[in-house]
Amino acid sequence: MDEPADRIHSMVESIVKELVDDRDGLTVAVLASAEGRTLIITVRPAGNDIGKVIGRGGRTAQAIRTIIEAIAARLQMKIQLEIDDKNSERKQQQSHW
């Protein structure tokens, strides 16, 4: 990863760690495009922490996205934030039984 991607990764990770109970179960991954102008940041909180990251009515997630959009505009980049529920795949598999 290049410097802007590293800085954005660290910033998102720092923000989200302050929101969750299980800091060790949190993963934040960044996927950069080949030219480095587009980033996809995937946040995977553990257990019940997904609600803390999304917030009531999605307000917390939207606030994080607003900060990321401001940084992306300044850096002339496109940055997408995805919040992934680790348990969603397990829930989908169980619903098929």
Give the type of residue at 26.
L
Question: What's the number of domains the chain is made of?
Answer: 1
Lowest mean pLDDT among 6-15, 56-65, 87-96: 87-96
Instruction: Report the CATH number that the domain containing residue 49 is assigned in CATH.
Output: 3.30.300.20
Residue 91 has pLDDT above 70, yes or no: no
- pTM as predicted: 0.81
Report pLDDT for 52: 96
The residue among 58, 2, 36, 21 whose CA lies nearest residue 83 is 58
The residue among 36, 92, 19, 40 whose CA lies nearest residue 28 is 40
Task: Work out the number of other CB atoms within 10 angstroms of the CB of residue 68.
Answer: 20
* Residue ranges making up the domain that contains 46: 3-95
d(CA 66, CA 29): 19
pLDDT tens digits, 15-45: 999 999 999 999 999 999 988 899 999 999 9
